[in-house]
Structure 1
Amino acid sequence: MNEKFRRGCWFFLGATEEQADAFMQKDELPSTKTMVEAIEAEGPFNQFPIFSGQFQAGINHLHSFTHGGNQIAIPYLATNEVGASYSDDDVFFALESIEAIGMTAVLITILVAGESNPEGAQLALDAYGAEFPFGEHSPWCIDEIKR
């Protein structure tokens, strides 16, 4: 999900005309580092650098977990129980990262839609802000953390 989100943000917010054409015609993408630098050079990501922030917060751990690396294998092998035994911290970190990516993806969708329909985008943004006030976890995440 993070990779798709990063590529979409890059295409709509950071790609040059030449890069966009190369992607559409030849399926060529710049490196992840180049995409992140282009995205985070402009607003809103110059104020909220989610992609470089995620990497610094442990994207390698999540990558290993998601794609069958040792972070997903070890919890199955480390105990005599059937099933995984992930630490609470790992589960909370994964939930918070996924929530941040999902919520930011919605905001970027509204931003891109606002290019052609500013009034509709503002209505969507207002509804989003009412449901998820800035700086708070979603009700779903809070319920999950309490369990």
Structure 2
Amino acid sequence: MSNTDIQARAIQVRQSLETSGNAVSKIRIPAGVPDKVRASLALLRASFDDATGIVELFRIHGGEFAGACFSLLRPMNEKLKRGTWIAFCATDAEVQDFIQNDKIPQRNLSQEIEQIPPFDQFPMFSQQHANAWDKFHSFTHGGNQVLGAYTSGEGIGASFGDQAILGVLDHVESIVVMGAQVMAMIAGNYVPDQAHGVLDELTAAFMPNRTAPAS
């Protein structure tokens, strides 16, 4: 697959990012919401920004900086997971421990998230860990997964298979849409009309044959 092919797929994913971002931008969170709301939305938006960085690197450079894109996968996923957990699972004491001390409980957060609706129907968080956690972790801290990606062929430099790159872009697209839905679900407790409108818009754009999740 040529750089042009990679860039073409990145442009498609960028359109999904823009659709999701434009939808979520219509939400206006009122002043005085609990700390857990602000913390969770901040993490979810940061995850969106990581996703944008991945897509833009592929869009501008093709596969040249694919290693940097792989390195951003784990931070993107962790922010989504933590933001969702804080919003729907964390106690007030745990939220304050995170805000003040940068501490998150050493528990299986994915499992806790997937015990509550609608996440109990879509075990995406645990699937992320089961399918690709070693690769996510290895590229972030400089583990041995980097070696094969940078030493194949005659030279030294990033050399990723087509399916790996397409897999990253597909994963980023799904994470962005999921993050936008979670932000709208959080907002549903404070601005329900706005949240319902965003969820309906996302469902129409990405899942036209499904019902929007409850906010």
TM-score computed with the length of structure 1 as normaliser: 0.79
Task: Note if contact 1:66-1:72 (Cα within 8 Å) is conserved in structure 2.
Answer: no
Q: Of the two structures, which has the highest relative contact order with CA contacts closer than 8 Å and spacing of 6 or more?
A: 2
Task: Note if contact 2:177-2:202 (Cα within 8 Å) is conserved in structure 1.
Answer: no
Q: Work out whether 1:21 is the aligned partner of 2:110.
A: no
| Equivalent in the alignment of 2:22 | none
Task: Tell me how large the CA RMSD over aligned residues is.
Answer: 2.0
Q: Residue 107 of structure 1 aligns to a residue in which SS? A: helix
C-alpha distance in 2, partners of 1:112/1:55?
24
C-alpha distance in 2, partners of 1:38/1:134?
29
TM-score computed with the length of structure 2 as normaliser: 0.56
The ranges of structure 1 where at least 4 consecutive aligned residues each deviate by more than 6 angstroms after the TM superposition are none
C-alpha distance in 1, partners of 2:159/2:144?
13
**Percent same amino acid among aligned pairs?**
36
Report deviation, 1:41: 1.2
C-alpha distance in 2, partners of 1:94/1:134?
24
Unaligned runs of 5+ in 1: 136-147
Task: Note if contact 1:11-1:20 (Cα within 8 Å) is conserved in structure 2.
Answer: yes
Pairwise mapping of residues 53-132 of structure 1 onto structure 2 (< 5 A)? 53-81=127-155, 83-132=157-206
How many equivalent pairs are there?
134
Task: Note if contact 1:6-1:51 (Cα within 8 Å) is conserved in structure 2.
Answer: yes
Unaligned runs of 5+ in 2: 1-75, 210-215
C-alpha distance in 1, partners of 2:112/2:191?
25
